[in-house]
Structure 1
Amino acid sequence: MLSHAVLALRQITSPPFRSVMIKAVGLTLVMLAAVWAGLYTAFAHFVPVPPGWLKTVLDVLAGLGLLVGLGFLVAPVTALFAGLFLDDVAAVVEATCYPDDPPGRALPFGQALWAAIRFTVLVIAVNIVVLVLLFFPGINIAAFFVANGYLLGREYFELAAGRFHPREEVLRLRRENGVRVFLGGLVIALVLAIPIVNIVTPLFATAFMVHLHKAVIGSRPRLPAPA
């Protein structure tokens, strides 16, 4: 599993991966900037404050507070937009490291969009619960890794396996390899836990789970030549 993680880390610096990340991060920043502007305007309009130094202080605090709050959404929102391109990423990994295997089938756009939205909502929901657990030091760290390890492992393994198998077969593979999938999810959760670095989580997770799925079905990677 460590070799799969190292190989995935090597691949996310390649041009196809960088292209997806630039698109996803760009769309994320545009969306969050629009949300920030809307919320700040609504605050200034609906919260009456007498003119003067108090208004200036509250405006600054509101702007900074919204900026910090939206900062927590960078990773999941990036995952939403990156989710629209993950089939392209998986195809690059498959063609590069498993050229002798049949190529996978990309999800239709509607299914890919729904999967990206569902996954993003789940990530946000799980991490809201984990944030509540911040009041219980020690427990919150364990909860973060267990919850995200299960969630990320499940979703990204199903994405990788779903390119080759019908839904029933994907679920069977995940159940039979539950420990490996969960441990893989923990590796992805570790990347997710690192600020700023976590924006590459969707790319790393996709590449990593493509390798894990191939290992499960018995395929061995043909290592690409060093750049």
Structure 2
Amino acid sequence: MIRALLLAIGQLSDPGSRRVVWIGVLSAAAAFALLATGVWWALFHTALTGYEWVDYVIDLLGGLAVLVLAWLLFPATVGTVSSFFLDEVVEAVERRHYPQLPPPRQTGVVEELGTALRFLVVVLLVNIAALPLYFLLPGLNLLIFYTVNGYLLGREYFEMVAVRRLGRKEAAYLRRSRPLKPFSAGVAIAFLSTIPFVNLLVPVIASAFMVHVYHSMVGHSLAGQPTAGPSLAGRSRP
């Protein structure tokens, strides 16, 4: 598992991987810049109460709220934008470390869009539902955070990678039959997501990391090493 993570971090040297990182960061920055400009214009050009000092306080608090919201949601926005390009990262990892494999099955634009939106919705909804637990159970909130997000991130990243070579049902079955590796990888991804600035690299690192996790589960070895034996789960579909 540690070796897989180190290989994933090393994947950042690939120009395609760095491209995905920059697309996510710059797109998220542009989106929040437009949002902040729009909110600033609305606040400072609208007299909400007619009392100058009250309007000033509202404008100030509104501006601070936008900054805090941008800080909290920026990594999630980067991940959402990057998710549309993570297939490029997966392909680059397989070309570099698993060149012996046949081409993966083709996925359509609708399926890729559905995967990205499903990832965003699931993560947001479960984290919103878990918010009361974070505050009501001090001391256990970190355990809850890493357990919930480790499961979610492990599931979504694993199935994103596995579905390229299996059907969605087969990918889900493989994950459920051997849940420890995807979950452990998900916890590691969740931990990296809490580190400022590192979290901007998480979509690329997590995708590359999960490629190695998936191939280790189906018996595919790295290039230059003996294979672990044939596996029906690893064969691509036409």
Q: TM-score, normalised by structure 1?
A: 0.89
Give the residue type in structure 1 aligned to 2:164: R
Residues 47, 133 of structure 1: CA spacing in aligned structure 2 closer, same or farther, 3 A cutoff? farther
Residues 91 and 104, structure 1, Cα contact 8 Å, conserved in 2: no
Q: Encode CA deviations 1:137-186: one digit per residue, 9 max, x unaligned.
A: 12211111011110011111111111111122212211111111111111
Q: Encode CA deviations 1:112-138: one digit per residue, 9 max, x unaligned.
A: 112111211222223323443332312
Question: Which residue is 1:187 aligned to?
Answer: 188
1:113 aligns with 2:113: yes
Question: Which residue is 1:95 aligned to?
Answer: 95
| Two-structure CA RMSD over aligned residues (Å) | 2.0
Gaps of 5+ in 2: 225-238
Give the residue type in structure 2 aligned to 1:147: V
Question: Which residue is 2:232 aligned to?
Answer: none
Residues 192 and 199, structure 2, Cα contact 8 Å, conserved in 1: yes
Question: Which residue is 1:204 aligned to?
Answer: 205
Give the residue type in structure 2 aligned to 1:19: R
Question: Which residue is 1:139 aligned to?
Answer: 140
- Between the aligned residues of both structures, percent identity stands at 37
Give the residue type in structure 1 aligned to 2:66: L
Residues 17 and 203, structure 1, Cα contact 8 Å, conserved in 2: yes
Give the residue type in structure 2 aligned to 1:173: L
Aligned pairs for 1:49-198 within 5 A: 49-50=49-50, 52-135=52-135, 136-198=137-199
Aligned residues: 223
CA positional deviation for 1:61: 2.2
Distance in structure 2 (CA, Å) of the matches to 1:47 and 1:146: 46
Question: Which residue is 2:227 aligned to?
Answer: none
Q: Encode CA deviations 1:35-77: one digit per residue, 9 max, x unaligned.
A: 3333444555677133544433332221011110122111221
Residues 133, 45 of structure 1: CA spacing in aligned structure 2 closer, same or farther, 3 A cutoff? farther
Distance in structure 1 (CA, Å) of the matches to 2:141 and 2:130: 6
CA positional deviation for 1:85: 0.5
Question: Which residue is 2:10 aligned to?
Answer: 10
Distance in structure 2 (CA, Å) of the matches to 1:128 and 1:66: 19
Of 86-95 and 24-33, more deviation after overlay is shown by 24-33
Distance in structure 2 (CA, Å) of the matches to 1:43 and 1:132: 31
Residues 47, 213 of structure 1: CA spacing in aligned structure 2 closer, same or farther, 3 A cutoff? farther
Give the residue type in structure 2 aligned to 1:86: L
Residues 39 and 63, structure 2, Cα contact 8 Å, conserved in 1: no
CA positional deviation for 1:30: 1.4
Of 155-164 and 119-128, more deviation after overlay is shown by 119-128
